[in-house]
């Protein structure tokens, strides 16, 4: 009996020391989407987007991150608006949706492009209104260089889908994550979904230049910038992705960087293998 108690205690300590990984039961629970989110996911505005749900698992991903309709949520680098068309209408009535883009000033882009990007914050709410049919004044848009004292410390959750590799390869990850940390409430969280390199991938491949990062690279970076890894999930995993293509993650759908060469093979693999990590802002 004494040995059994000692073993149980040791197992409990081991479990407490490691970040949680979502198991199948947790995935099933996460899939029990609330009615308002399900209505958004089923809306006709997503008719062209739904085909990618099998790779991006929006219901399960947002449930894993703990996103609720009454939160203030910032989506980082919304891009084409795939998640915007989910988050903006979901948060429109009870919460607040904010689109936040990278500060153009330090980016390795031509000056005319950076000048154009300074208009992004003012133009973004109008684009969201066009996507959703919801008035533009329901939404906010800004860059990380435009975070006011009033907005600082006001956001519950920042979502960074498939962008960490760009921040790394553009050498702006440090300044961008610091800005996003300033945006968060004291108990705020950041959710990262990122193309995942193999754990033993060389840094020369997994430095962001090919779209992939190693999980330990992301975790170590976030911890060094004042965040704690709360838990991680395999909800966006794809074991068929070998993550070793000469042209990187863009070899896979939807980009097909190799053109028609082996296209059927890459279609069968599907979109990339992705880490799904939740971090909490430390005091």
Check pLDDT > 60 for residue 16: no
Residue 101 tokens, joined: 């883009």
The pLDDT score that the predictor gives to residue 22 is: 55
Domain count, the chain: 1
Q: Is residue 4 part of a domain?
A: no
180 in Cβ contact with 190 (< 8 Å): yes
The pLDDT score that the predictor gives to residue 142 is: 97
The pLDDT score that the predictor gives to residue 9 is: 42
Rounded to the nearest integer, the mean pLDDT of the chain is 91
The pLDDT score that the predictor gives to residue 21 is: 58
Q: Is residue 11 part of a domain?
A: no
Please name the residue that has the structure tokens 């330990």. 216
Taking the C-alpha atoms of residue 32 and residue 30, their distance in angstroms, rounded to an integer, is 5
Q: Count CA atoms closer than 13 A to 193's CA, side-chain side.
A: 26
pLDDT level of residue 30 (50, 70, 90 thresholds)? very low
Which DSSP symbol is given to 156?
E
Q: Is residue 257 part of a domain?
A: no
Q: Is residue 151 part of a domain?
A: yes
Q: Name the most confidently modeled range: 31-35, 79-83, 221-225.
A: 221-225
The pLDDT score that the predictor gives to residue 5 is: 38
Q: Is residue 159 part of a domain?
A: yes
The pLDDT score that the predictor gives to residue 27 is: 46
Check pLDDT > 70 for residue 214: yes
The pLDDT score that the predictor gives to residue 277 is: 99
pLDDT level of residue 267 (50, 70, 90 thresholds)? very high
Q: Is residue 230 part of a domain?
A: yes
Pure H helices in the chain: 2-17, 24-30, 35-42, 53-56, 58-65, 84-91, 111-117, 120-132, 164-169, 173-183, 215-224, 263-269
Q: Which residues neighbour 19 within 8 Å (Cβ) at sequence distance 6 or greater?
A: 229, 230, 231, 232
Find the range with the poorest average confidence among 113-122, 151-160, 246-255. 113-122
Q: Which domain holds residue 173?
A: 20-244+273-281
Check pLDDT > 80 for residue 7: no
What average pLDDT does range 198-212 have in this prediction? Answer: 98
Q: In what order do the strands lie in the sheet with 184-195?
A: 20-21, 227-233, 274-281, 184-195, 155-161, 72-76, 96-101, 139-143
The pLDDT score that the predictor gives to residue 20 is: 60
281 in Cβ contact with 187 (< 8 Å): yes
Check pLDDT > 50 for residue 192: yes
What average pLDDT does range 247-270 have in this prediction? Answer: 97
The pLDDT score that the predictor gives to residue 133 is: 97
Please write the tens of the pLDDT for every residue from 103-133. Answer: 999 999 999 999 998 999 999 999 999 999 9
Q: Is residue 191 part of a domain?
A: yes
129 in Cβ contact with 119 (< 8 Å): no
pLDDT level of residue 100 (50, 70, 90 thresholds)? very high
Q: Is residue 15 part of a domain?
A: no
pTM (predicted TM-score): 0.89
CATH number of residue 134's parent domain: 3.40.50.150
Q: What percent of the chain has pLDDT over 70?
A: 88
Q: Which residues neighbour 64 within 8 Å (Cβ) at sequence distance 6 or greater?
A: 22, 26, 30, 191, 231, 233, 235, 276, 278
């Amino acid at each position: 009996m004494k040995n059994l108690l000692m073993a149980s205690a040791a197992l409990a300590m081991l479990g407490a020391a490691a970040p949680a990984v979502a198991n199948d039961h947790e995935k099933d629970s996460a899939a029990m989407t609330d009615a308002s989110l399900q209505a958004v996911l089923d809306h006709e505005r997503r008719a062209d987007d739904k085909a990618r749900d099998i790779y991006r698992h929006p219901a399960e991903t947002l449930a894993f991150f703990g996103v609720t309709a009454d939160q203030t949520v910032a989506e980082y680098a919304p891009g084409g608006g795939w998640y915007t068309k989910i988050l903006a209408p979901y948060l429109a009535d009870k919460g607040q949706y904010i689109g936040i883009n990278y500060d153009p000033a330090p980016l390795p882009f031509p000056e005319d492009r950076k000048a154009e990007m300074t208009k992004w914050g003012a133009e973004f709410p109008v684009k969201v209104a066009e996507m959703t049919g919801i008035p533009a004044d329901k939404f906010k848009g800004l860059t990380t260089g435009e975070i006011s004292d009033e907005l600082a410390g006001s956001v519950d959750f920042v979502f960074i889908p498939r962008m960490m590799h760009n921040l790394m390869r553009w050498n702006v990850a440090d300044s961008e994550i610091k800005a996003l940390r300033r945006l968060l409430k004291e108990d705020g969280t950041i959710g990262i979904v990122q193309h995942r390199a193999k754990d033993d991938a060389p840094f020369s491949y997994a430095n962001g230049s090919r779209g992939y990062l190693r999980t330990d690279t992301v975790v170590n970076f976030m911890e060094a910038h004042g965040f704690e890894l709360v838990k991680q999930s395999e909800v966006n995993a794809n074991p068929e992705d070998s993550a070793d293509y000469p042209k990187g993650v863009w070899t896979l759908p939807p980009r097909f960087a190799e053109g028609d060469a082996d296209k059927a093979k890459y279609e069968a693999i599907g979109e990339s293998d992705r880490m799904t990590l939740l971090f909490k802002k430390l005091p």
